[in-house]
Amino acid sequence: MPGTLSAVFSLAFVTEQAVHVGAGSKKLVDGDVVRQGCRIRGRPGVPGASMKGVLRARYEAITRSCVPFRLPKGPVRVRSSSGIEHAQLDDRLLDGDVFRSRAEAADGPLCPACALFGRMSLRSRVTLTDFAVGAQVGFDVAEIPEQFSPNLHHVGRGTLRPSREGERGRGDLYEVDALHGRKFAVGRGPVADNARQQKIEVLPAGHVLQGEMRVHNALPRELGGLLVALGWKRGSALKIGGGKAHGFGRIRLQHLVARLRDHAGRPAAMDEAWITSFEQSGDCHVEGMVRLLQIHQGNC
């Protein structure tokens, strides 16, 4: 398409913390159950789909993009030490533009993330290969608190009220009427006193993951947004895999080499002005970008 660029970015990320991307299987090691890590060509690595998911989440946070999933309507059962058994979202939240834009994309403009990364019936313009380490690297075994999916009453602020007649469940119902925002793990989160530990295979810190990102028909400002999401020239780390709030999963872009072509197939060069173009565009969510880059500096 005229005015667009296509590129292959060769990327190298250094693991600053141990990384666990689960393979979905377990094994016995000296009588202990250990959750296995993902293997790429027989050695520790990160699937391209996992890396793309991290990159998309960061791109959503720095752009005015919709939420890529639907939150439940009506009361749902939750786990809570406070005695709350059910929670639900205020109907006004579910009607907000951030949830509605994806559903209406077929009849109107796509949000920046859906336009670049794709949605149902629309192919992505960004693909990532698997990322692997050198042949001599193996897994370590580490411990991590048992992980759970988020509870609905933790996604925002609300009020506690008695259940009304006809509502699911009995007792108090927590009704969320203000959302906290997108969630990114920072530092070490709290661990329950009775939390059970589980053993996992981890790629140790200090190793390099190598792979490629391929982009087709992207506007310069979109490439600028992708570079910000990668942490290029910004020093921002990425967090990936399990245990991101427990000292696992931090990787940082160490090296980037780009091969670019314009819409006519002519060679093109990297340009830091793409980032400025992105930051000055209507797609950029400045507050989200500043906050994301801020929290993922240093020892996040």
Give the C-alpha separation, 286 to 283, whole Å.
9
Q: What is the mean pLDDT, run by run of 10 residues, along the chain of 300 residues? A: 95 97 91 92 94 96 84 81 81 74 59 91 94 89 85 86 62 84 82 85 96 97 97 93 93 97 95 96 95 91
Q: What pLDDT does 105 receive?
A: 47
- What domain range is 88 assigned to? 66-110+147-184
Burial class, 149, CB count within 10 angstroms (exposed 0-12 / middle 13-18 / buried 19+) = exposed
Give the C-alpha separation, 39 to 41, whole Å.
6
Residues 168 and 208 in one domain: no
Q: What pLDDT does 29 receive?
A: 85
pLDDT tens per residue across span 127-173: 999 999 987 889 999 999 887 777 888 888 988 877 666 555 556 78
Q: Is residue 189 in some structural domain?
A: no
Domain count, the chain: 2
Residues 258 and 163 in one domain: no
Q: Is residue 123 in some structural domain?
A: yes
Among residues 268, 258, 282, 224, the alpha carbon closest in space to that of 5 is found at 268
Residues 130 and 116 in one domain: yes
Q: Is residue 291 in some structural domain?
A: yes
Q: What pLDDT does 49 receive?
A: 96
Q: Is residue 190 in some structural domain?
A: no
Q: Is residue 86 in some structural domain?
A: yes
The helix/strand count (H/E) of the chain reads as: 7, 17
CB neighbours of 206 closer than 8 A, spacing ≥ 6?
14, 15
Q: Is residue 191 in some structural domain?
A: no
| Prediction pTM value | 0.89
Residues 36 and 89 in one domain: no
